[in-house]
Amino acid sequence: MKKTLSLLFAMLLILAACQRQDKPKSANKYKAPKNVATDTEGLFKMRYRLKWLDQAQFAGAYVALEKGFYLQRGLDVEILEGGPDYPQYGSLLDSSADVVGLHLLIGMNYFNSPRPVVNIGQVLQKSSTLLIGKKSTGIANLKDLAGKKVGVWRGQSYVRYFLDEQHLGIRSIPIDWSVNLLLNDAIDMMNATSYNEYHRIMMSGLDEDELVVFPLAEHGFNVVEDGLYVLKDYYKKHPQECKDFSEATMEGWLYAFEHPEEALQIVISRMRENHRPTNPGHQLWMLQHMEELILGNGEPGKLKKSDLDFANRILMESGELKKPIPYEEFCPL
Amino acid sequence: MKTKKKTRRLSEQLIGQLLLFMTFLFILLLLVILRLLFDVEKTNQEEVIGNLMESNVQIMDRNLSGIISLAKNLQGVVNEGVYNEAEIQRHIHRLLLDNPILVSACLAYDEQNPPHCTTFSLVAQRMNAIKNTNDDFLYKDWFQIPRLTGRPYWSDPWYDKEGAKTIVCSYSVPLTRKGKVQGIIRVDLPLENLRRIIVNLRVKESGRAFLVSGNGMIMAHPTDSLAMNYTIFDLVNRYPDVQMRTLAKKVVAGEVGFERNRNLGMKGDVWLTFRPLPTNNWSLVAIVPHREVFVHLHYLSLILSLAVLFGFLVLSLMIWGRVQALNKPLTELVDGIKQAGEGDLSPAPPLETESYEIQVISENFEAMKSSLSAHIDNLQALTEERNRISSELEFASNVQRSLIPNGNSIKPGNLDVYGLLEPAGMVGGDLFDYFLIDEGHFLFAIADVVGKGVGAAMTMTMATTLLRSIAQHHKKPQEILSQLNAFFMGHKLESGYMTMALGIIDLASGVCVFSNAGHLPLYVLSQDGQIRKHERTHSTALGFFDNIKIESEELRLDAGDKILLVTDGVTEATNPNDHLFGTQGLEKTLAGLRGASVEKTAKAILETVLDFADPEKGRDDITILAIEYLGGLQKP
């Protein structure tokens, strides 16, 4: 794995070097400067609104910032927390952010809006989503969910596409991120990610053999998840910067996987700066699980046409899409 | 190869062996005592720490049950449905004023459109009500869980930015109107109330406590960063020991426990004690270092060890002192023995000792030394005496030897004579002699004095001397023997008895006249090998009877005839089978010596006898005299 990572890293650097030969600024871009962001004059300012609150789910971006991968490409990047108080698409519309993190299906929904978004990078190349519940509820397979209370993230949750598609007859309970509903038996199952809630549930005293888990990918719903999105207009104005941003972010991820301890420290520091409670054990779990999701499906950072086609089919079947979204338009890079 | 064993002082050996055994015994005893006391102390400490935990659980539980009472109170007022909103608000105001543990309360409705909630708190004793129509509250644990389950719910700590503006733990109960659930009533307890108890709680010296929710969430901890961030499972997850997770599960299951743990302590083992709060499913947990729990046991073992160490020290000193006291006379005794070994047997001053054994050894050693000294003196005297006698005997031997004819003795030309005397000791009682009594006559004699040693030797010496003297005057053998007998009878010597054969040869004619006084036979060996034995004695042995009549016998010697005489040392030689050599042995030997010279004949007989005799049995003096007559003398 290490060998593959090194190879990919080298390839990315060579690619970047070839494409940016005309820019004198990039002369020493291979030397990662330690003290960066002191002189931002003349750099291109970009604000990146995360999909959620600070955590290792976004380690690549923190590492790219800390190690100067953005700066090397002439970008002055500011990373902004996401979460319920800061809707990602809303941030693009009100110009409080230039780049946002979105799930593919959510991003596709916004593609057909009056102010469409485009994908400039695909971070998660696999589905991390699970349905998880206690074995004590008697649920053994998906069919047992009929009439059961299933906690589904409120808002534009992509999980509802899966649940609708399966025609399970569940009672959907909109929830926030808390796992306490499941732990206190207020609901029978909840959606979760393998890198976050699953671990939190285990760390609340439930053992693996006490849990029933349905990974969506194993039930015909392997939709790739987090991607980097900008407004189409923005992309048209700044295509190179968008490309640079995406590449630098992925370079950050590759560095993080090669240097997990350093990456973990960067994540923890970032969380502390933003006064988020830090739990290194949980963040390490998250970082370790991101690796498979990011590197486990071909070329990192790039949305594959087949993955978009699969998502097109789901959205068309759900009736939310009349015709498939063309790959070249959705993914212009 | 066997190496010499290293020697050690007696005190070292005693102290070493004794201490080794005592140490082993002590350790065994200490382990048994500590094991027994450990169980007693564990039960005791479990109770003591349990009581401390219980009292703190009760204090916290008073807060919780107080909040529950207030929630029920409010629920009663609100759910009754007879009070209007203003009256309910006044009631809440009164509750907030009267109950400091209540920092805020909230009435949340989701069955009304739009869903809304109102949070009540005090600002400078005045009622502050904030109505919120944002539906975010619908997804908070405090609302959603009791709403979905229909059961009261204690929330994890959360930051209430609208009401109390502090971290609170909320207790929520359903809000009903006309029997139908309309929403949730929430009352808030500031976490600080519980945190203060936790932070101030010291179990033993440095044991710290923390509060854990039913889901393992750490609600309050002396290290604030752990609270609301880590679960107890996060904490134990860092240890590979799966037992740790089992332990954590016991805690969240609301069990009461007091368990030893090797992982959680920074320095050594710790004891984990936990017990649930009666009101909800939270648990109070404390971690106490093992050394603090069993501090009394540690002190006890320390004191015990020191006491035993001191005891060992004193015992060692006592043994050392005692052994030294015992050893001093022993060392002096050993020195005395060494000196005695080197020859110094002078008496030593009496030993001062309290040991009976050493006293006895010392006294006996002194007695032995004195006895040895006397013995040595005696021995020295004896040795000197012996040496003196020995040198005198040597002298006597020399005298005796000089009296016997040797090779230089005057012999007539027509005789070949050879005699040998092999004494059994330094001096002997045998004698032989020969000499010319005049120009024509040759005297020979052989004698055996009865007895041995010096007496016999003296007699022999006298006889030799006397023989020469008498022979000057008496030319006949019987006369000479009579004179000798008369002398011995006259002097009554102790060893004055002897057998003797004496002859006088007329050198011209070869006629030999001889008398045998009790001696062995005389043999004449002819040249033709004939052996003539003249065994007739002519008297008894000399010295027994006075005036004995002694006869004589005459025989003629031809040229080449040999006369042979021996003493009883030859015939009485005994072999290992107790057989005597006898005259038969002698004659048999002689038969084989035909034609041999006198010297050869004598030596051959001696050799044969010595070969025959058993050297172990001792022997008598051996004397052999052989005379060969070579023929009549030619007149010049």
Q: What is the pLDDT of residue A261?
A: 96
Total domains in chain A come to 2
| Helix, strand or coil, per DSSP, at residue A225 | coil
Q: What confidence tens digit (pLDDT) does each residue in B138-182 have?
A: 999 999 999 999 999 999 999 888 888 899 999 999 998 888 899
* Same domain? A231 vs A289: yes
H runs (alpha helix) in A21-175? 59-66, 69-72, 88-93, 104-111, 159-166
Minimal-distance CA residue of chain A relative to B225: A277
For B466-517, the pLDDT digits (tens) are 888 888 888 899 989 998 888 888 887 777 788 999 999 998 889 999 999 9
Closest by CA to B331, choosing from B17, B9, B18, is B9
Q: Identify the residue among A180, A187, A288 best suited for mutation to test binding to B, counting B beta carbons within 10 A and taking the highest.
A: A180
Q: Which of A106-110, A220-224, B413-417 has the lowest mean pLDDT?
A: B413-417
**Same domain as A53, residue A152:** no
Domain chopping of chain B, boundaries: 69-191, 201-293, 325-372, 404-629
Instruction: Look up residue B365 and give its two tokens.
Output: 């050693």
Find chain B residues with C-beta within 8 A of A209's C-beta. Answer: none
**C-alpha dist (Å) from residue B492 to B459, B489, B547:** 11, 5, 14
**Residue A108 to residue A118: CA distance in whole angstroms:** 8
End position of a domain, from candidates A219, A238, A261: A219
Instruction: Give the Cα separation of B247 and B61 in Å (integer).
Output: 23
Structure tokens at B474: 């008496």
The winner for highest mean pLDDT among B326-340, B395-409, B427-441 is B427-441
Q: Tell whether the model's pLDDT for residue B343 goes beyond 60.
A: yes
Among A203, A206, A208, A272, the residue to mutate for chain B (most B Cβ within 10 A): A203
Give the CATH number for residue A157.
Answer: 3.40.190.10
For residues A40 and A138, state if they share a domain. Answer: no
Average pLDDT on B314-338 reads 82
pLDDT at A214: 96
Calculate the CA dihedral of residues B296, B299, B305, B308 and round it to 10 degrees. -80
If asked whether residues A105 and A134 sit together in one domain, one would say no
In CATH, the number for domain B325-372 is: 1.10.8
Q: Is there a single domain that holds both residue A14 and residue A85?
A: yes
**Residue B316 or residue B212, greater confidence:** B212
Reported confidence tier of residue A3, pLDDT bands at 50, 70, 90: very low
Rounded average pLDDT over A54-65: 96
Whether residue B6 lies within 8 A of chain A, CB to CB, comes out as no
Arithmetic mean of pLDDT, B6-24: 79
User: Is the ipTM above a cut-off of 0.90?
Assistant: no
Same domain for A120 and A248?
yes
How many CB atoms are closer than 10 A to CB A14?
Answer: 10
Contact B283/B277 with Cβ under 8 angstroms?
A: yes
Residues of A with CB under 8 A from a CB of B: 84, 149, 154, 173-176, 178, 180-181, 183-187, 202-205, 207, 277-279, 281-282
Q: What are phi and psi of A80, to 5 degrees?
A: -115, 140
Indicate if A170 and A243 belong to the same structural domain.
no
Task: Answer yes or no: do A118 and A241 share one domain.
Answer: yes
- How many CB atoms neighbour CB A234 within 10 A? 21
Q: Does B4 touch chain A (CB under 8 A)?
A: no
| DSSP SS3 for A114 | coil
Query: CA of B245: which chain A residue's CA is closest?
Result: A205
Neighbours of B338 (CB within 10 A): 10
Domain end marker among A188, A219, A250? A219
Shortest Cα distance, chain B CAs vs residue A268, angstroms: 13
Total-model pTM: 0.65
Q: Which of B621, B258, B184, B204 is nearest to B424 (CA)?
A: B621
**Cα separation, B419 vs B603, whole angstroms:** 9
CA B459 distance to own-chain centroid: 69
Min Cα separation B240/chain A (Å): 13
Please report, rounded to a whole number, the percentage of residues in chain B having pLDDT higher than 90: 39
Q: To 10 degrees, what angle do helices B477-491 and B453-471 make?
A: 130
CA atoms within 13 A on the CB side of A243: 12
pLDDT at A194 over 90: yes
Alpha carbon of B269: minimum distance to chain A alpha carbons (Å)? 23
Whether domain B69-191 has CATH 3.90.105.20: no
The fold of B201-293 is Beta-Lactamase (3.30.450)
* Domain that residue A290 falls in: 2-125+224-330
Q: A192, A219, A246: which is the final residue of a domain? A: A219
Decide: helix, strand or coil at residue B596. coil
| CB-CB under 8 Å, B245 with A281 | no
Residue A193, both tokens: 């990610």
Q: Which B residues, 340 through 369, put their C-beta within 8 Å of a C-beta on chain A?
A: none
Q: Do domains B325-372 and B404-629 have the same CATH topology?
A: no
| Cβ contacts of B248 on chain A, cutoff 8 Å | 205
Question: Which tokens hold the place of B544?
Answer: 């027994």
- Least confident piece of the model among A7-21, A42-56, B506-520: A7-21
Q: Are residues A84 and A200 in the same domain?
A: no
- Between chain A and chain B, the number of residue pairs with CB atoms below 8 A apart is 62
Cβ A277–B228 below 8 Å, yes or no? yes
| Distance from C-alpha of B487 to C-alpha of B468, rounded to nearest angstrom | 14
Q: Are residues A93 and A26 in the same domain?
A: yes
What does the pLDDT average to over A17-28? 38
Helices (H), B81-100: 85-98
Tokens of B395: 């002298």
Q: What is the distance between the alpha carbons of residues B548 and B482, in angstroms, rounded to a whole number? A: 7
Residue B411 DSSP SS3: coil
Residues B234, A282: C-beta atoms closer than 8 Å: yes
- Note whether A113 and A240 are same-domain residues: yes
- Confidence band (pLDDT; 50, 70, 90) for A125? very high
- Overall size of chain A counted in residues: 333
Distance CA B231, CA B567 (A): 131
CB-CB under 8 Å, A281 with B238: yes
pLDDT > 50? residue B22? yes
Per-residue tokens: A262: 């350093």
User: Best-predicted range by mean pLDDT among A120-134, B212-226, B376-390, B399-413?
Assistant: A120-134
Residue B42 has pLDDT above 80, yes or no: yes
Share of chain A above pLDDT 70, in %: 88
Q: Partners of B100 in the beta sheet?
A: none
* β-bridge partners, B180: B177
Taking Cα atoms as reference points, which of A109, A94, A60, A93 lies closest to residue A295?
Answer: A60
**Model confidence at A24: pLDDT above 60:** no
- CA separation for the pair B210, B223 (Å, rounded): 9
Nearest CA in chain B to A180: B141
Query: Which pLDDT score, from 0 to 100, does residue B395 have?
Result: 85
Percent of chain B at pLDDT above 70? 98
Whose structure tokens read 């609302």?
A: B143
Beta bridge partners of B566: B624
Chain A CB within 8 Å of residue B238 CB: yes
**Residues contacting B587, CB < 8 A, separation 6+:** B523, B531, B533
Do β-strands A171-175 and A149-153 pair in parallel, antiparallel, or remain unpaired? Answer: parallel
> Based on the domain organization, do A13 and A47 belong to the same domain?
yes
User: Averaging pLDDT over each range in A60-64, B285-289, B625-629, which range is the top one?
Assistant: A60-64
Q: What number does CATH give the domain B404-629?
A: 3.60.40.10
